[in-house]
A and B are shown apart, each in its own frame.
Chain A
Amino acid sequence: MTNNNKSALQVSGLSTSFDIGGKPLKAVDDVSFVVEQGEVLGIVGESGSGKSITLRSILGLARRYGTVSGSVKWQDQELVTMPEKELRKIRGKEIAMIFQEPMSSLNPLLTVGLQIGENLSAHTDLDKPARLARSIELLEKVGIPDAANRLDDFPHQFSGGMRQRVMIAIALASNPKLLLADEPTTALDVTIQKQILKLITDLSSELGMSVILVTHDLGVAAQTCNRLAVMYGGKLVETGDTKSVISNPQHRYTEGLLRSVPENVEPRTQLYSLPGTPPSLANLPIGCAFAPRCAHATSDCEAGKPALVGEAHKVACFNAATPVQARPGVAL
């Protein structure tokens, strides 16, 4: 992390809703956070919590299909209202994105070299030989052996982990300052996952690149991110330093989620489990979205939505766990 603490990205009051059969579906509801330069921010949540849509809204990929409001400030430029033509200069250049499915996010009909070169010709002034050299350099950087000979290969000739590396290489082609990674390792095995995550964190510290990593795996988040933001029902429920959130969760949802992970528990004992299932975004309660599953819910929780409050470690809960000192060790 850098010392000058200049926020690279400021998201405030971001809301995205889609029109599903005449009914509005609020996928992202009043989400605010900042990403500092060189920082890895993790957005954690279960499926349908709105974390992927948050990423897509930042990059203007959601506004074609839904209504995006609020503000996304990228180096003093407002992205939400920016015309598509100008946004295109930032998207893929300063802000790049890696998608979840390496199997389907590459064009199967184009060679890998062409797909990397495409980004280079769109966003840099390099000539053809320089683009070729840069492509090889990028593939080597992401750890593809024999890179020079693989440029003419098609995506199907690569394995899943290699394809995800190619995706990262494409994303890195224009030296982005912010990388949006949407579940970059979910489809991969743990050994490959470790390689990819290490690659992303290394690049972040090497190039001073900021990263937003969306994941549902708390272990991945704990290992990779500097700060965490926990999402539930389209809202951020808790944000803070990774260590602080993991060892001292304030929101009852975060607490439950952490406790349900079978780590450091006696084998074959009953795991802690949150009752019920995550809510449907089309049918959110008026109050706190987590209230129906929360053991500590009161009438306040059903009446209104709690705001995200706090200093470094913020929480949106009327009955947050009392701010205790960090528990002995990381008792999880």
Chain B
Amino acid sequence: MSVPILKTNDVVLHFKKNRSILDVITRKPKQKVQALNGVSVTLQKGETLGVVGESGCGKSTLARVISGLHKPQSGTIEFNGTSLADRSGKSLREYNRRVQMIFQDPYSSLNPRMRVGDVLREALSVHKMCAEPEIPARIDQLLDLVRLPKDAAEKLPHEFSGGQRQRIAIARALSVEPEVLIADELVSALDVSVQAQVVNLLLTLQDELGLTVLFVAHDLRLVRHVSHRVAVIYLGSVVEIGPSIGLFSNPKHPYSQALLSAAPSLNPDDKGNAIELAGELPSPLDIPTGCAFHGRCPIATSICREIKPELLGDPKTGQVACHHVDQS
């Protein structure tokens, strides 16, 4: 395998929670939200890594850490061999340009007072992507790339539908010629019939421009469709990661199995193999000891309550973090 373009090593991120007056008086210890507890993923050039998990499992936090919006407490993020923490000044700006994020909500991620042309112009001139006189031509080119009409540059975000706004967000991200796109719930806010349009655009652009994509989503069908590899996250830890086809057809971790079987199928006769999870996701304020999943796991034994399983196995065929999965 070639050298990965982007790599996270054991990234840990805990958010401190402010104590209420009552907590201070009763001397309760400060709580922290354990959003990421040692996440290591790699992104090969040109591939799409899907990230799935329930809400609150840390998948969006992972996306934000990689794009530099949060600093991890420990662990490193390496891009082309250089750690993000070691970057500053020019090198950091370079990273910010080459790793671009697209946000979930197209209704709030665009400045309502800026014309689309200005949104793109700002990105182009801040990163000095091209000479001032060439900017209008480049804007036309970008709008064409995301299949928006040329007169879109003169319009304000409110004049566009959700799908079109998400295209503007994609155009803005692509304007600085990034190598990695972090797509956090790219199409979740869109209607079903519009989702497909944006997903198709992403797939085409990825092939044309050789982009590497981290695709965070909760819609499992969509993740299966776009990803080469998929990581399943549970309470801030990767429990299973591997090639998309293998993971979806034969998930090994009991959580992956339950999650995938819960996705409602279009076939009314296919009620899923009905692996039902008891209870709900525990709070990330108070993560269970050992394997975080043991409280809901149908096959948990005493070892699961004590020792946190490591992610083992061949990265090429898939890795699982479970005491009860045969690694051989």
Task: Tell me the A residues contacting B by CB distance below 8 Å.
Answer: 46-47, 145, 159, 161-162, 189-195, 197-198, 216-220, 222-223, 242-243, 246, 256-258, 260-263, 265, 267-275, 277-278, 330, 332
Contact A220 B264 (CB under 8 A): yes
Report A261 CB to chain B, min CB distance, Å: 6
Contact A270 B203 (CB under 8 A): yes
State whether the Cβ of B265 lies closer than 8 Å to any Cβ in chain A.
Answer: yes
Q: Give residues 204-218 of B contacting A (CB, 8 Å).
A: 204, 218
- Nearest B residue to A190 via CB reads B262
Pairs of residues from A and B, 3 with the lowest C-beta to C-beta distance, nearest first: A219-B264, A273-B196, A262-B225
Contact of A223 among B54, B199, B218, B264 (CB under 8 A): B264
Contact B191 A47 (CB under 8 A): yes
Q: How far is the CA of A162 from the CA of B279 in the complex (A)?
A: 10
State whether the Cβ of B222 lies closer than 8 Å to any Cβ in chain A.
Answer: yes
Chain A-chain B contacts (Cβ-Cβ < 8 Å), number: 133
Q: Which of B18-26, B27-35, B174-182, B268-276 is the interface stretch?
A: B268-276
Contact B196 A260 (CB under 8 A): yes
Could you write out 27 A-B pairs with CB less than 8 Å apart? A47-B191, A161-B280, A189-B54, A189-B55, A189-B281, A191-B280, A192-B54, A197-B264, A218-B192, A222-B264, A223-B272, A243-B268, A256-B193, A260-B192, A260-B195, A262-B224, A263-B221, A263-B265, A267-B225, A268-B48, A268-B203, A269-B203, A270-B203, A271-B225, A274-B193, A277-B163, A332-B267
With A190-B263, A261-B221, A268-B225 known as contacts, the answer to whether A278 contacts B244 (CB < 8 A) is: no
State whether the Cβ of B277 lies closer than 8 Å to any Cβ in chain A.
Answer: yes
Contact A223 B265 (CB under 8 A): yes
CB-defined contacts of A260 to chain B, threshold 8 Å: 192-193, 195-196
With A261-B192, A270-B203, A278-B193 known as contacts, the answer to whether A217 contacts B264 (CB < 8 A) is: yes
Report B114 CB to chain A, min CB distance, Å: 22
State whether the Cβ of B41 lies closer than 8 Å to any Cβ in chain A.
Answer: no
Contact B191 A273 (CB under 8 A): no
Report A143 CB to chain B, min CB distance, Å: 9
Contact A330 B262 (CB under 8 A): no
Contact A219 B263 (CB under 8 A): yes
* Interface-central residue, B163, B224, B279, by most chain A CB under 10 Å: B279
Q: How far is the CA of A265 from the CA of B227 in the complex (A)?
A: 13
Report A62 CB to chain B, min CB distance, Å: 22
CB-defined contacts of A267 to chain B, threshold 8 Å: 224-227, 244-245
* Interface-central residue, B48, B163, B266, by most chain A CB under 10 Å: B266
State whether the Cβ of B65 lies closer than 8 Å to any Cβ in chain A.
Answer: no
CB-defined contacts of B197 to chain A, threshold 8 Å: 273-275
With A246-B268, A261-B221 known as contacts, the answer to whether A216 contacts B280 (CB < 8 A) is: no
State whether the Cβ of B307 lies closer than 8 Å to any Cβ in chain A.
Answer: no
Q: Mark B226-253, 1 if CB is under 8 A from A, else 0.
A: 1110000000000000001100000000
Contact A222 B266 (CB under 8 A): yes
Contact B280 A159 (CB under 8 A): yes
Contact B258 A191 (CB under 8 A): yes
Range of interface residues on chain B? 35 or more
* Interface-central residue, A46, A195, A256, A268, by most chain B CB under 10 Å: A268
With A194-B262, A219-B265 known as contacts, the answer to whether A189 contacts B218 (CB < 8 A) is: yes
Report A238 CB to chain B, min CB distance, Å: 15
- Nearest B residue to A192 via CB reads B280
Q: How far is the CA of A330 from the CA of B191 in the complex (A)?
A: 24
CB-defined contacts of B266 to chain A, threshold 8 Å: 218-219, 222, 246, 258, 261, 263, 330, 332
Contact B226 A268 (CB under 8 A): yes
State whether the Cβ of B135 lies closer than 8 Å to any Cβ in chain A.
Answer: no
With A190-B218, A219-B263 known as contacts, the answer to whether A257 contacts B200 (CB < 8 A) is: no
State whether the Cβ of B194 lies closer than 8 Å to any Cβ in chain A.
Answer: yes
CB-defined contacts of A268 to chain B, threshold 8 Å: 48, 203, 225-226, 228
CB-defined contacts of A220 to chain B, threshold 8 Å: 264
State whether the Cβ of B161 lies closer than 8 Å to any Cβ in chain A.
Answer: yes
* Interface-central residue, B162, B193, B200, B281, by most chain A CB under 10 Å: B193
- Nearest B residue to A332 via CB reads B266
Contact B267 A222 (CB under 8 A): yes
Contact A271 B267 (CB under 8 A): no
Contact A272 B280 (CB under 8 A): no
Report B242 CB to chain A, min CB distance, Å: 14
Q: How far is the CA of A194 from the CA of B264 in the complex (A)?
A: 8
Q: How far is the CA of A258 from the CA of B281 in the complex (A)?
A: 31
Report B66 CB to chain A, min CB distance, Å: 22
Q: How far is the CA of A272 from the CA of B200 in the complex (A)?
A: 9
Report B208 CB to chain A, min CB distance, Å: 13
Q: How far is the CA of A256 from the CA of B195 in the complex (A)?
A: 12
* Interface-central residue, B225, B264, B281, by most chain A CB under 10 Å: B264
Contact B192 A271 (CB under 8 A): no
CB-defined contacts of A192 to chain B, threshold 8 Å: 54, 280
Contact B192 A257 (CB under 8 A): yes
Report B270 CB to chain A, min CB distance, Å: 8
Q: How far is the CA of A118 from the CA of B106 in the complex (A)?
A: 40
State whether the Cβ of B259 lies closer than 8 Å to any Cβ in chain A.
Answer: yes
State whether the Cβ of B220 lies closer than 8 Å to any Cβ in chain A.
Answer: yes
CB-defined contacts of A159 to chain B, threshold 8 Å: 280-281
CB-defined contacts of B269 to chain A, threshold 8 Å: 243, 330
